Structure 1
Amino acid sequence: MELSVALVTALWFWFFAGAPGYTLHYVFKQPLVIALPIGILMGDIPKALIIGAAIELVYVGMVAAGANLPADECLAGVLAIPMAMKLGVDPSTAVVLAVPFGVLGVFLDQLRRTVNAAFVHRADKLALDADLKGIARQALIWPMAIGFVMRFPPVFIANLFGADVLEGLLKALPAWVIHGISVTGGLLPALGFAIILFVIGKKSLMPFFFIGFFAVQFLGISTMAAAVFGICMAILITVFKREALAEAKKSMREELQNS
C-alpha cells in the first residue's frame, strides 16, 4: 500500500502541477480532490476527505496574481494527507503539516521556471522557422520531462520513507507541543476564509457571505445545502438582472422611437 500511495501521489503531483494543456489541472491540484484517490488507496475515504477539506480551507482563497505562486497546494496535499492518515493525527495537525510543504513547493516551482526559461528562448528561435513541432516540444515535452525529474522523486521518497521519520519525531515531542500544533492548525482555516473576504472585495457581495455563514451556524443546515441555496440565489439574481436590463433597453428604444 505504501508503495502504491507513493507512486500515485508522485505521478499526480508531476502531471497536474505540470499544468499540461491548462484545462482542468487547477481542479486536480486541490487537496480536497487529491484526498479521494489517497483515501481509496489507503482504505479510508471519509478520513482522507476530512483531512483534505481541512487543508483545502487554507488555500481556498489563494490567487496566483501574475502567475506568482504564493503556495503550492498540490504539494501540500500529496504529502500531508497520506502522512496524516498514516500517523493518525487530527485534521488540525494535518493542516500544520501541509503549510511548510506548500511553502517548499514555491521554491521548487521557482527552480522549474528558471530551468524552463531555456526552452522559451529555444522556442523563439524555432518560431522564426515556423517549426511547429519543435515549438511543441519546447512548450510541452521537455518541460514535462524536466518536471518529472524535479517533482516525482521528492514526493515518492517522502511518502515511501518520510512518514516513519515524522512519526518518530511526533512521538518524541512533548504533549504541550502537540496541543499547540493542533491549536495553530485550527486557526489556519480562518486565515483561508479571511483571504476569501479580501478577494471578494465588493461590499455588495458581503451580505451573501454572512447569510451563508449564519445559516450554517444557527439554522443547522449542511454546507452542501447552503451551497445549493447559494447557487439558486445566484441564478435568480442573474436572471432578474438580465430581465431588468432587457426592459430598460426596450424602454429606451421606445423613447427614441417616440422622439
Structure 2
Amino acid sequence: MTVMQALLIALVLLVFTVGEAWFAYPMINQPLVLCPIVGLIMGDVVTGITAGATLQMIFLGTMQIGGTVPADAPLGSVIGTAFAISMGKSVEVALTFAVPISMLGSFLIVLAYIIRGLFNPKVEQLINDGNGKGLERLYYGLAVIPEIPRVLAAFITLLIGSNFAKTIIDFIPATVIDGLNFATDLMPAVGIALLLRMMWNKKYGIYYVLGLLLVSFFQLEVIGVAAVGVVLAVILYIEGDKLSGSGQAKQVVTTGAMSVEEELFND
C-alpha cells in the first residue's frame, strides 16, 4: 500500500466521520458507504462493495445507547477492507481484521470524548467573555481535533501494518480460514438478530413471518421483499386513513346531535 492510498483512506474516514455529525447523522460513515470508496482508492471496487455489504450486516446492530461506547465499525471496516485488497485476499480476511480493530477503536472514541471534555473550561470562558467569534472557531475546531488520534492511528496502521498483517495471515492454518468462511455466512444473521432483539414487537411479528415465507417458498430476492413491504405500507396507510376519517365523521355527527339536544332542552 502506498503512502498516498493510506493518506486518502485516512482523509475519507475523517471527512465522513465529521460529516456524519454535521449533517444530522445521514449514515454516511457506515461500511456500506466507506468500503466501496476504499475499494475505489485501492483499485478493487468489487471487493470493496462486497466487503461493505458483508460488514454492514455484521455491524447492523451496533449503535451507541446511553453512555455505552460501541465498536468503531468505520475504523475496523476501512482497515479490514484495505488489508484484504492489498494482500489480494477474500472478504473473510476483511472480516478477520475488521471485528477486532473495531473493538480496539472504541478506546479511540473514548479518547475523543476526553479531548472534547478538556475544552469545556475554554468554552465557558468564551461564553462569559461574550466572544462569539472565538466560540465559533472553537466549535469548528472541536469537530476535527478529537478525531485526529483516530485518523492518525488509521493512517499508521494502513501504512506499516499491511506487510505485518500478511505475515499473520500466512501463518493462519487453512482450517481456521475455512471456519471464518462459515462464520462470514452466519454473521449477517447475527446482525439481523441483534436488530430484531431491539425492534421485536408482537404486533409487527407477522410481517417478519411474511418476509420469511416470501424468501423461503417464493424465492424472492431482498428487493422483491422490500417492494412487497412498500405496497403493504401504502395499503395500511390508506386503510388507516379511511378508518380515521370515518371515526372523525362519527364524532362530528355525535357532537352535532348532542348540541341539538342541548338546544332543545335549553329552550
Report the TM-score when normalising by structure 1: 0.88
Report what 2:141 is aligned to: 141
Question: Equivalents in 2 of 1:73, 1:8: separation in Å?
Answer: 18
Report what 1:23 is aligned to: 23
| Structure 1 vs Structure 2 CA RMSD | 2.3
Question: Equivalents in 1 of 2:138, 2:192: separation in Å?
Answer: 39
Q: Secondary structure at the match of 1:202?
A: coil
Whether 1:202 and 2:201 are equivalent positions in the alignment is: yes
Q: Is the 8 A contact 1:84 1:94 kept in 2?
A: yes
Deviation, 1:108, is: 0.3
Q: Is the 8 A contact 1:29 1:74 kept in 2?
A: yes
Q: Which has the higher contact order (CA 8 A, sep 6+)?
A: 1
Residue 153 of structure 2 aligns with an amino acid whose one-letter code is P
Structure 1 residues 20 and 206, CA gap change in structure 2 (3 angstroms): closer
Structure 1 portions without partners, runs of 5+: none
Report what 2:114 is aligned to: 114
**Quick check: 150-159 or 108-117, which moved more?**
150-159
Count of equivalent residues: 258
Q: Is the 8 A contact 2:20 2:29 kept in 1?
A: no
Residue 249 of structure 2 aligns with an amino acid whose one-letter code is K
Structure 2 portions without partners, runs of 5+: 259-267
Question: Equivalents in 2 of 1:19, 1:159: separation in Å?
Answer: 22
Whether 1:236 and 2:235 are equivalent positions in the alignment is: yes
> What is the 5 A alignment of 1:44-63?
44-63=44-63
Deviation, 1:143, is: 4.3
Q: Percent identity?
A: 24
Q: Is the 8 A contact 1:82 1:159 kept in 2?
A: yes
User: Highest Rg: 1 or 2?
Assistant: 2
**Quick check: 137-146 or 154-163, which moved more?**
137-146
Report what 1:170 is aligned to: 169
Report what 1:41 is aligned to: 41
Question: Equivalents in 1 of 2:246, 2:130: separation in Å?
Answer: 51
Q: Is the 8 A contact 2:18 2:144 kept in 1?
A: yes
Question: Equivalents in 1 of 2:62, 2:241: separation in Å?
Answer: 31
**Quick check: 88-97 or 185-194, which moved more?**
88-97
Residue 189 of structure 1 aligns with an amino acid whose one-letter code is P
Whether 1:155 and 2:146 are equivalent positions in the alignment is: no
Q: Is the 8 A contact 2:20 2:26 kept in 1?
A: no
Whether 1:185 and 2:173 are equivalent positions in the alignment is: no
Question: Equivalents in 1 of 2:128, 2:245: separation in Å?
Answer: 49
Question: Equivalents in 2 of 1:23, 1:36: separation in Å?
Answer: 21
Q: Is the 8 A contact 1:96 1:185 kept in 2?
A: no
Residue 222 of structure 2 aligns with an amino acid whose one-letter code is T
Deviation, 1:88, is: 3.4
Deviation, 1:109, is: 0.5
Structure 1 residues 16 and 121, CA gap change in structure 2 (3 angstroms): farther
Structure 1 residues 133 and 255, CA gap change in structure 2 (3 angstroms): same
Question: Equivalents in 2 of 1:178, 1:234: separation in Å?
Answer: 43
**Quick check: 136-145 or 161-170, which moved more?**
136-145
Report what 1:95 is aligned to: 95
Q: Is the 8 A contact 2:20 2:27 kept in 1?
A: no
Report the TM-score when normalising by structure 2: 0.86
Whether 1:224 and 2:206 are equivalent positions in the alignment is: no
Deviation, 1:171, is: 0.8
Question: Equivalents in 2 of 1:24, 1:85: separation in Å?
Answer: 32
Structure 1 residues 94 and 186, CA gap change in structure 2 (3 angstroms): farther
Question: Equivalents in 2 of 1:208, 1:256: separation in Å?
Answer: 38
Structure 1 residues 229 and 30, CA gap change in structure 2 (3 angstroms): same
Structure 1 residues 61 and 237, CA gap change in structure 2 (3 angstroms): farther
Q: Is the 8 A contact 2:58 2:191 kept in 1?
A: yes
Residue 161 of structure 1 aligns with an amino acid whose one-letter code is I
